Structure 1
C-alpha cells in the first residue's frame, strides 16, 4: 500500500512541492512551479532519477497541481495517489495552535487571517481549494507557520497599543518560521540528550530571518511579530525600525504607506545597506574585496542578531543550546563564528575546526562543558508530512 504524502507550499506566483515516502521518511521528489498565471509558467522536478523541466500550457493553480500529480505518477515516483496532502499556511492567527485536517470551517478561518498575511494566505487557500476540487477523496492537512508561537504568554505577544486593537483586530505578535523553529529545537534536544527540561535559542537565518526562545519544547518568545517584517535585519527586509519612520518618510519623500511598506519589505536589509545583493554569499564576497558598504551590511546584520539573541536569552531559565539553521545558519561559518565569539556572555566556546565542517556527526560546533552550539538543517517539509501522517 502507498504511503506517499505530498507537501505543497502555494505562493502568489509559485508552488513548491515535496513528495515523501513516509515508510522511510525519504524525500522521493521535490520541485517548483514558477510564474503561475502567466504564459511563461514552468515546472522543475528533481529526484534521484535526475531533473525534469516542463512548460505549462495552463498555469492556474488547479491545472498546475494536476500536472504535478500526473508527472510524478508518469515518472514512476509514485504508483498511486498520495494518502494525504500537507499544506504550508503562513498565518493561522489565534485560531490554530496545531496542524488540522482541512474542513470548510478551516478554510474560512484561513480566509479570515488574510488581512494578517495578504500575500500568502490567499495563495494557500487557492492551493487547498484546487486540490479539493481535483482529488476530493484525498485528506488534506494544514500546518501553520504561526502555530508553534501560540504558546507565547500575553506579556510577550502584546504590543503597547490600545488593548481594543487586539480585541477588535487581532493586533499582536504572532511570529513566523514556527515549523522550522519547532523542528530544529526538538532535533537539537534529542541529539544533545537534553531531556524534558531545557532552554534553547534557535536562529533561523536565510533570506527571511527569525530567532526564538524555547523552554521545554514550548516557544516563549520570538523575533518576528504581527508580520514577517519585525525583528532581525534580513535579505530585503529592514527588521525593526522606529514606527515614526513611516510618518517621516511620508512627510519628507511624499511616499504613500504602500510605497514605504514596499521599501521596508523589498528594498532594505542586506540589499538596502550593501547596494550589492540580498544574498549573504554575495555580500560576504564583496566585503572581502573591500566593499565598505557590504562590510557595513554584515556588521549591522550580526550586531542586530547578537542583540536579539541576547534579549531572547533573558526568557530562558537556563541556556543549553544555540541552534543555527536556514541557508545562512547552515552554511555561513563566519556568521556562526562572529555570533559565538561576540556573545561570550552565553558561555559558548567555539570549536574552530568543527565550525569549518559545519559540525561533527551531531552538528555540534562548540567545545567545553558550557552550552552547546549546533547546526541543524531545517526540514519544514518533512515536519508537514509528519503532521499529515499523524492526523490521518
Structure 2
C-alpha cells in the first residue's frame, strides 16, 4: 500500500462483486497505486469475513453479510473505522467489473437505469457472473449517490474481433435468436497487459502485435493486432479454449451427447463436470498449478500428463495466433500461473524456436516480484517473451476516469 496524499490525488473506488464475495480497492488512476484494498467473503452465507488493508496493515473481523447491500455497508464502515476517509479521498468515480457486455457494449459506459437493465438482460449469457455484478452495482449506486458509476466489461476488448473470428458455424437464425457468438473474457486484463507490454517494448500500442496468455485458474489467450483483439480463446462462455484449473477448454461438443446417451447424465451434471470437475483438477486431482508441479516432482504420472496436456494446448494457440498475426512482437505471460510458473512458460514455448521464440532459461527461472514487466527471452530472440503482472483494478480505474472525464467533486454522504 502507498501512503499517497488522499487530499490532492484523484481516486477511484473499484468494486468487483462476485456471487459470494465483494472485492474493492481505492486507487489513484494516474499511477495505479492502491491506498486501500478489501475483501468481504461468504456474502449470503453464514460465517462472513471482512479483510480491509491500508498501508500494509490488515484489519479483519467476522460479520454477517446476508446480501451485497450489507457487504457495501460493511465496506463503508471499514473505511470509516480504519481509513482512509472516503470523504477526503477525492473519489471521482466508482468502477465496476462486469463480466458480460454481449454485443451491446464495445467499451466502458456510465451506468444509469437503462444500462442496469441491459446488464440484467445479458445475464442469460453469464448466469453466474452478471447477477452478482449487478447486485454490487445497485448497492454501490445506493451508497455513492453523487459520483458517476462506470461499468467496465470483460468482453468489451474483444468486440473488435472480425466476424470470421467471432462467428460459429451454427445455423444463422438460431445463433442470432439466442445471441450465440464468441465473446471472450478477461478483456480488461488483456487490454492492460497489451498496453504495458507495448510500452516496455517501446512500440506504440496501436502498432503492437502480441500474443497475450492470461493464465490463472481461468485461462485465455488473445491475439492482439495493432493494439486490438482480433481473436481470443474463450467463446460464448469461459469454457472454450485453454485447459484451466477445473474447466475442460476445447472439447468435441458431441461429448455432451455421448454422456447424456451412454451415462444418463443430465445437462446440469455435464455442465458441472466440464466447468467444475475437469481441467487440471480432473486430469491430476489438483486445480492449483503449484500442487501439480509438486506432484510431478514426486513422480506422479497423472501430474506429468496433465502438465503436458496444459502446455501442448498453449503451444497450439501460440502457433495458431502466430499464423493469424503474421508478425509477432512478443508473447506475453500474465496472471497467477503466467507470472509465477517457470515450468508452464518453458513447456508452452518448447520447440517454437522456428517461430523466432527463444526462451532464456535462466531469466525464466529467476524469481521476480513487483509490478514491472520482465523480458525472459534471449537478447537475440526475434520475438520477445515477457512476463507482465496484470492489474485489472488499475485498468478499471483508468477506464472510469477516461469515460467520465472525472474531476474532483462532491463526495457521497
TM over 0.5: yes
Question: Would the aligned equivalents of 2:27 and 2:34 in 1 still touch at CA under 8 Å?
Answer: yes
1:375 maps to which residue? Answer: 387
2:27 maps to which residue? Answer: 20
Most deviating of 300-309 and 352-361: 352-361
Greater relative contact order structure (CA < 8 Å, 6+ sep): 2
1:72 maps to which residue? Answer: 79
Q: Per-residue CA shift, 1:89-116, capped at 9, x if unaligned?
A: 0000001011110011111111111110
Question: Please, which of 349, 361, 380 is the counterpart of residue 352 of structure 1?
Answer: 361
Most deviating of 319-328 and 50-59: 50-59
SS in 1 for 2:12: strand
Most deviating of 352-361 and 244-253: 352-361
In the TM superposition, what is the alpha-carbon distance from 1:166 to its structure 2 partner? 2.6
Task: In structure 1, list runs of 5 or more residues that go unmatched.
Answer: none
In the TM superposition, what is the alpha-carbon distance from 1:311 to its structure 2 partner? 1.1
Structure 1 residue 257 corresponds to structure 2 residue 264: no
2:411 maps to which residue? Answer: none
Q: Per-residue CA shift, 1:214-250, capped at 9, x if unaligned?
A: 0110000000000000001000000011110111101
Question: Would the aligned equivalents of 2:356 and 2:381 in 1 still touch at CA under 8 Å?
Answer: no
1:320 maps to which residue? Answer: 329
Cα distance in 2 between the residues matched to 1:175 and 1:24: 28
Cα distance in 2 between the residues matched to 1:233 and 1:362: 25
1:197 maps to which residue? Answer: 207
SS in 2 for 1:96: coil
Aligned ranges for residues 112-191 of structure 1 at < 5 Å?
112-191=121-200
In the TM superposition, what is the alpha-carbon distance from 1:169 to its structure 2 partner? 1.4
Q: Per-residue CA shift, 1:122-151, capped at 9, x if unaligned?
A: 001111111112222221111000000000
Most deviating of 33-42 and 256-265: 33-42
2:278 maps to which residue? Answer: 268
Structure 1 residue 284 corresponds to structure 2 residue 293: yes
Cα distance in 1 between the residues matched to 2:392 and 2:223: 18
SS in 2 for 1:83: strand
Cα distance in 1 between the residues matched to 2:203 and 2:368: 18
Cα distance in 2 between the residues matched to 1:207 and 1:362: 21
Task: In structure 2, list runs of 5 or more residues that go unmatched.
Answer: 1-6, 407-413
In the TM superposition, what is the alpha-carbon distance from 1:38 to its structure 2 partner? 1.7
Cα distance in 1 between the residues matched to 2:31 and 2:76: 21
1:41 maps to which residue? Answer: 48
Question: Would the aligned equivalents of 2:158 and 2:187 in 1 still touch at CA under 8 Å?
Answer: yes
**Distance change >3 Å, CA 36–CA 190, structure 1 → 2:** same
Most deviating of 301-310 and 81-90: 81-90
Most deviating of 107-116 and 38-47: 38-47
Question: Would the aligned equivalents of 1:358 and 1:365 in 2 still touch at CA under 8 Å?
Answer: no
**Distance change >3 Å, CA 121–CA 79, structure 1 → 2:** closer
1:337 maps to which residue? Answer: 346
SS in 2 for 1:366: coil
In the TM superposition, what is the alpha-carbon distance from 1:342 to its structure 2 partner? 2.7
SS in 2 for 1:342: coil
Structure 1 residue 7 corresponds to structure 2 residue 14: yes
Cα distance in 1 between the residues matched to 2:172 and 2:128: 26
Question: Would the aligned equivalents of 2:42 and 2:65 in 1 still touch at CA under 8 Å?
Answer: no
In the TM superposition, what is the alpha-carbon distance from 1:334 to its structure 2 partner? 1.1
Question: Would the aligned equivalents of 2:373 and 2:389 in 1 still touch at CA under 8 Å?
Answer: no
Question: Would the aligned equivalents of 1:359 and 1:365 in 2 still touch at CA under 8 Å?
Answer: no
Cα distance in 1 between the residues matched to 2:65 and 2:251: 42
SS in 2 for 1:290: coil
1:231 maps to which residue? Answer: 241
TM-score (norm 1): 0.96
Cα distance in 1 between the residues matched to 2:284 and 2:142: 46
SS in 2 for 1:160: coil
1:364 maps to which residue? Answer: 375
Cα distance in 2 between the residues matched to 1:328 and 1:42: 27
1:209 maps to which residue? Answer: 219
RMSD: 1.6
